[in-house]
């Protein structure tokens, strides 16, 4: 499912499961209350709202609200898990959720923007789930030096994101770890 379906499911969950008013949801998303009303109708029309809310990515909206309230966050995304979920399934779902967040964050940035990319299994899962959108034209900067021993290293991930977002990538030509202090300060 796409970003639109995730937005519709989030609005429906906040309204029907957590009983937030349309005004409260509008304030959280930075849109008008009438926009929330239209999104709820669209959610009904598309079958997202029935007796239950069907989210494309299982999210714990109650915990998200708690985190937003407790820490004064503008937004939060929390993956809802089940005891029988295996690590591979959880990592893929987390990657999809993070890619959804990244797409939303990128949509709010002005033209000529850049993002930084590090490395790790979570970052790789996010990059893998990120759809191709070369029209974004987002430049990508490698944040950590190369490790070289990983299957997908920081430079590789930066290149992958840049390709998907239609931007240039900027490598950091340095190792992430060096043996001697003198080597570290030479970069």
Asked if 73 and 122 sit in the same domain, the reply is no
Q: What pLDDT score was predicted for residue 151? A: 56
Place of tokens 């290149």: 159
Could you tell me if residue 165 is inside a domain?
yes
* Helix (H) / strand (E) containing 54: none
Asked if 75 and 127 sit in the same domain, the reply is no
Kindly report the average pLDDT of the chain as a whole number.
Answer: 88
Asked if 2 and 76 sit in the same domain, the reply is yes
Q: How many angstroms separate the CA atoms of 127 and 27, rounded?
A: 30
- The C-alpha torsion from 142 through 147 and 152 to 155, rounded to 10°, is 20
Asked if 136 and 65 sit in the same domain, the reply is no
pTM, two decimal places: 0.65
Q: How many angstroms separate the CA atoms of 104 and 73, rounded?
A: 15
Nearest CA-CA partner of 176 in 157, 164, 168? 157
- CATH for 64: 1.10.10.10
Asked if 159 and 116 sit in the same domain, the reply is yes
Asked if 76 and 30 sit in the same domain, the reply is yes
Could you tell me if residue 103 is inside a domain?
no
What residues make up the domain containing 46? Answer: 1-80
Q: Could you list the beta-strand ranges (E) of 95-164.
A: 114-117, 139-142
Could you tell me if residue 100 is inside a domain?
no
Confidence of residue 154 (pLDDT cuts 50, 70, 90): confident
Could you tell me if residue 97 is inside a domain?
no
* Number of Cβ within a 10 Å radius of residue 80: 16
Residues in CB range of 114: below 8 A, 6 or more apart:
138, 139, 140, 141, 167
* Number of Cβ within a 10 Å radius of residue 27: 13
Asked if 1 and 73 sit in the same domain, the reply is yes
Could you tell me if residue 85 is inside a domain?
no
Could you tell me if residue 139 is inside a domain?
yes
Cα angle: 172, vertex 177, 183; to 5 degrees: 85
Q: What is the pLDDT of residues 12-50, one digit of tens each?
A: 999 999 999 999 999 999 999 999 999 999 999 999 998
Could you tell me if residue 131 is inside a domain?
yes
Q: What is the pLDDT of residues 57-85, one digit of tens each?
A: 889 999 999 999 999 999 999 999 988 88
Q: Answer with the one of 32, 62, 80 that is the final residue of a domain.
A: 80
Whether the CB-CB separation of 142 and 113 falls below 8 Å is answered with no
Q: How many angstroms separate the CA atoms of 166 and 34, rounded?
A: 34
Could you tell me if residue 142 is inside a domain?
yes
Return the half-sphere exposure (C-beta side, CA atoms, 13 A cut-off) of residue 77.
20
Asked if 1 and 48 sit in the same domain, the reply is yes
Does residue 133 have a pLDDT over 70? yes
Tokens of 78: 């929390």
Q: Answer with the one of 59, 80, 101 that is the final residue of a domain.
A: 80
Q: Answer with the one of 33, 57, 80 that is the final residue of a domain.
A: 80
Provide the number of structural domains found in the chain.
2
Q: How many angstroms separate the CA atoms of 152 and 171, rounded?
A: 14
């Amino acid at each position: 499912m796409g970003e639109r379906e995730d937005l519709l499911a989030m609005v429906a969950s906040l309204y029907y499961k957590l009983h937030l008013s349309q005004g409260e949801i509008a304030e959280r998303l930075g849109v008008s209350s009438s926009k929330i009303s239209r999104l709820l109708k669209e959610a009904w029309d598309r079958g997202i709202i029935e007796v239950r809310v069907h989210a494309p990515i299982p999210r714990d909206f109650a915990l998200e609200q708690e985190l937003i309230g407790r820490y004064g966050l503008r937004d939060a995304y929390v993956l809802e898990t089940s005891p029988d979920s295996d690590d591979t399934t959880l990592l893929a779902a987390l990657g999809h959720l993070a890619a959804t967040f990244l797409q939303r964050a990128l949509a709010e940035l002005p033209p000529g923007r850049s993002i930084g990319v590090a490395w790790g299994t979570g970052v790789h899962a996010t990059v893998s789930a990120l759809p191709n959108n070369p029209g974004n034209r987002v430049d990508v900067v490698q944040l950590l030096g190369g490790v070289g021993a990983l299957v997908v290293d920081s430079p590789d991930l930066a290149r992958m994101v840049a390709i998907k977002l239609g931007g240039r990538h900027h490598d950091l030509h340095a190792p992430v770890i060096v043996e001697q202090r003198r080597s570290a300060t030479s970069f």
